[in-house]
Structure 1
Amino acid sequence: MNSVISLLSVLIITILILYLSYIFTKSIGKGMCLKRGGNYMQMLDRLPLGQDKSIAVVRAGSHYFLIGIASSQITILAELTEEDIQKGLDIPNPQVREGYPDFISILKKYTDKNRKDM
């Protein structure tokens, strides 16, 4: 009987430690997000070009910038307008070309064909 009580107490203590560590790490994580993010600046998009080179669209207040990022420097390539950003959102996906079926339709075609054969 004594061993059952000690086993239950160890189990309860273990569960309590795990729960408290979960709560602690969750609160630490929320604090880290607040310190990293800014109220007036935001990176909208980023395109890697090489190992340590990329371009990004950044919003700073009401201004939008296209910037080049390298390991040693950051360069403003252009200042964009709100219309440029909206036009960029309307560009169709270049991976799906007109006249060519996409992968999902090809896959459905062959899976449907194989189901009919069975």
Structure 2
Amino acid sequence: MISLASVLILTILILYLSYVFTKSLGKGIGLRRGGTGMQMLDRLPLGQDKAVAVVRLGSHYYLIGIASSQITLLAEVAEEDINLETVGASLPEGGEGYPDFKKLLKKYTDRHRKDE
């Protein structure tokens, strides 16, 4: 009976310490994740392991394609195409707030089809 109780207490202790450790580790990773010069504004999933995203690098904006094995630059987006008033004076961290992503994607895919 004593050995069963000690195993139960040890198991609960291990689970609690694992929880505390992963929670503190996650906070540290989140703080180091954000950069000052580069930011993902929006991401649109297209399928399993495939997506398109708008990224800000300094004062330039890029439309990129993301696959499981590579990242491809699709187009450079003009700042005029981005409605900064709805996004806010300072662009949000974490990817929220790019309202006209579908229109922008359609514009650049149509332009690419005309070039071919």
TM, length-normalised to structure 1: 0.50
Q: 1:73 aligns with which of 45, 70, 85?
A: 70
List, as ranges, runs of 4+ consecutive aligned residues in structure 1 with deviation greater than 6 Å. none
Superposition pairs for residues 1-118 of structure 1, below 5 Å? 28-86=25-83, 91=100
Moved more, 55-64 or 35-44: 35-44
Structure 1 gap ranges (5+): 1-17, 95-118
- SS of the aligned residue for 1:71 comes to coil
TM, length-normalised to structure 2: 0.51
RMSD (Å), alpha carbons = 3.4
Q: Give the superposition deviation at 1:52.
A: 1.2
Q: Which has the larger radius of gyration?
A: 1
Q: Give the superposition deviation at 1:37.
A: 1.6
For these two proteins, the number of residue pairs brought into alignment is 78
Structure 2 gap ranges (5+): 1-15, 87-97, 104-116
For 1:90 and 1:35, the matched residues in 2 are separated by 27
* CA 44–30 in structure 1, closer or farther in 2 if over 3 Å, else same: same
- SS of the aligned residue for 1:49 comes to strand
For 2:99 and 2:25, the matched residues in 1 are separated by 39
Moved more, 51-60 or 78-87: 78-87
For 2:64 and 2:79, the matched residues in 1 are separated by 16
Amino acid at match of 1:80: V
Q: Give the superposition deviation at 1:29.
A: 3.5
* CA 29–46 in structure 1, closer or farther in 2 if over 3 Å, else same: same
Amino acid at match of 2:64: I
